[in-house]
Structure 1
Amino acid sequence: MKTLIVGASGATGKLLVEELLSARKEVKIIVRPTANIPDTWLYNEQLHIIRGNISEMNLEEMTEIVTDCDGFASCLGHNLTLKGMFGHPRRLVTEAVQLISKAISKNNPAKAVKFVLMNTVGNQNRDINEHVSTAQKIVIAVIRTLLPPQADNEKASDYLRLQIGQKNPKIEWVTVRPDALNNEKTVTEYNLHPSPIRSAIFNPGETSRINVAHFMTQLILDDNLWKEWKGRMPVIYNVETSI
């Protein structure tokens, strides 16, 4: 069985693909027709590449795509341009999560599949009582109003929390929340927490993209790690900033 990745051509998505391929996992990706991907991917027998815009795919197409998949990961995000943040589709991540989830359910897998969503530490886990200062709540509310990607991230995770829920027999999920992302060449030590240990607005930590990719890969491969975090929204920090 394969792992389907959407957002595979992004900065973190590419690293996730490489991590899974290195672990000898078969991978299927959906990338835009114009997406720039490594030439080596074109000749990798473990990798199946589907060119298309996920925002334009219908349920029947997606149902066919997910037929041979038992793992799913989304690294989708909005480009930090005016068009990327304010253009169509404003609910890129949410709509992709909804479409894939409905396709999984339509396929009626014999056992629950894994769905890992890359999100942001600026999105609060409303299933638990996370401490967020009044000042941060105000700032996040302003960001949510002015910048569609914030609302998109929140709605995507809310779909998993509220619509898929904790006891869905077909889909289990984990929403991964990194703090301020940076680029490192190799995996370093990182810490995982059920909730943020610092303010995402006033005292942000750092998380390298490759550490996010590594953690997402381990969730897919390691059933014990999955059992620890399924149905939760772990926050990931690089060790040097976990204070």
Structure 2
Amino acid sequence: MITAVVGASGATGKLLVAQLLEAGQKVKVIVRSSSLIPEQWESHERITVIRVNAITAISVDEMAAYLKDCQSIASCLGHNSNLKGIYGKPRRLVEETIRLFCEAAIRNAPEKPIRLVLMNTAGNSNRDLDERVSFRQKIVIGLFRLLLPPHRDNERAADYLRKKIGPNHPFVEWTVVRPDSLIDEKSVTTYSLHPSPTRSALFDPGYTSRSNVAHFMCRLLRNDAVWNKWKGKMPVLYNDNTTEAR
């Protein structure tokens, strides 16, 4: 299996690539020309490094060529947590990239649907479900949506998969992974999965290690039973003992 990974130079993306390699997979990493990646990736026999000036500037035909021999796609894209990353362009980085991936996959018309896993956030509700959100949280999320382009971008990317691709597309299947407050841990630990948040992402957040996010995304891409359980859904991921302060 070959997996295309975008956002591979980020903290979670690097861990996902490591998980996929450990599982014996081949990986295509699509990174910006200026991105810093581990030196060993450039010569690794199971990694193909594709450098681009800007992923959103790639044409559908070009992306379709990159994805032609891929069976799965993983996005760990996010906006940098500085003023340029939050308010600079492209403001719809994640949504436009997910749209590009899907249009390219559709252009390729694979015999078996390609698997697409999007890393998102527990602060984004799955509007296919009746997820209970307090009035206070609705007000704050509304402000985030208005004032913070990255939050709106995460919502729009997930909504594109829910509404445009839907649960029964012939060429694209998807899962949106929603971690809560991200933390760094050296290794994979036990974690739990839920169809919806079990706590407030704003006022009673849990914790999710990047290692666990990478581990679950790798399982989704490789394990048919795990994939069939969560495809077309937006599972929320918490570390066990998540109430412990970190």
- Same structural fold, with TM-score higher than 0.5 when normalized by the shorter chain: yes
Runs of 4+ in 1 over 2 A off after TM superposition: none
Match of 1:56 in 2: 57
How far apart are residue 242 of structure 1 and its match? 6.5
Structure 1: which 5+ residue stretches go unaligned?
none
Q: Does 1:3 align with 2:31?
A: no
Q: Does 1:36 align with 2:68?
A: no
Match of 1:214 in 2: 215
Structure 2: which 5+ residue stretches go unaligned?
none
Instruction: Give, in whole Å, the separation in 2 of the partners of 1:124 and 1:199.
Output: 11
Match of 1:46 in 2: 46
Match of 1:146 in 2: 147
How far apart are residue 145 of structure 1 and its match? 0.6
How far apart are residue 224 of structure 1 and its match? 0.2
Instruction: Give, in whole Å, the separation in 2 of the partners of 1:237 and 1:50.
Output: 32
- Check whether the contact 1:191–1:242 (CA below 8 A) recurs between aligned residues: no
Instruction: Give, in whole Å, the separation in 1 of the partners of 2:139 and 2:205.
Output: 16
How far apart are residue 215 of structure 1 and its match? 0.1
Match of 1:137 in 2: 138
Match of 2:23 in 1: 23
- How many residue pairs match? The answer is 243
CA RMSD of aligned residues (A): 1.0
Instruction: Give, in whole Å, the separation in 2 of the partners of 1:126 and 1:242.
Output: 26
Instruction: Give, in whole Å, the separation in 1 of the partners of 2:235 and 2:243.
Output: 14
How far apart are residue 113 of structure 1 and its match? 1.2
Match of 1:83 in 2: 84
Instruction: Give, in whole Å, the separation in 2 of the partners of 1:101 and 1:118.
Output: 15
| 1:41-60 deviation digits (Å, cap 9, x = unpaired) | 11211000000120211111
How far apart are residue 31 of structure 1 and its match? 0.5
Secondary structure of 2:71's aligned partner: strand
Instruction: Give, in whole Å, the separation in 2 of the partners of 1:206 and 1:155.
Output: 24
Q: Percent identity?
A: 55
Instruction: Give, in whole Å, the separation in 2 of the partners of 1:171 and 1:242.
Output: 36
Secondary structure of 1:69's aligned partner: coil
| 1:135-192 deviation digits (Å, cap 9, x = unpaired) | 0010010011110000000000000000000110111100000000000000000000
Match of 1:106 in 2: 107
Match of 2:189 in 1: 188
Instruction: Give, in whole Å, the separation in 1 of the partners of 2:73 and 2:132.
Output: 30
Match of 2:232 in 1: 231
Match of 1:69 in 2: 70
Instruction: Give, in whole Å, the separation in 1 of the partners of 2:231 and 2:58.
Output: 28
How far apart are residue 40 of structure 1 and its match? 1.4
Instruction: Give, in whole Å, the separation in 1 of the partners of 2:38 and 2:114.
Output: 28
Match of 1:168 in 2: 169
Instruction: Give, in whole Å, the separation in 2 of the partners of 1:22 and 1:44.
Output: 13
Instruction: Give, in whole Å, the separation in 1 of the partners of 2:38 and 2:241.
Output: 31
Instruction: Give, in whole Å, the separation in 2 of the partners of 1:183 and 1:240.
Output: 15
| 1:184-229 deviation digits (Å, cap 9, x = unpaired) | 0000000000000000000000000010000000000100000000
Instruction: Give, in whole Å, the separation in 1 of the partners of 2:241 and 2:77.
Output: 27
TM-score by length of 2: 0.97
How far apart are residue 241 of structure 1 and its match? 1.2
Secondary structure of 2:208's aligned partner: strand
AA partner of residue 84 (structure 2): K
How far apart are residue 239 of structure 1 and its match? 0.4
AA partner of residue 98 (structure 2): V
Change (3 A) 1:83 1:182: same
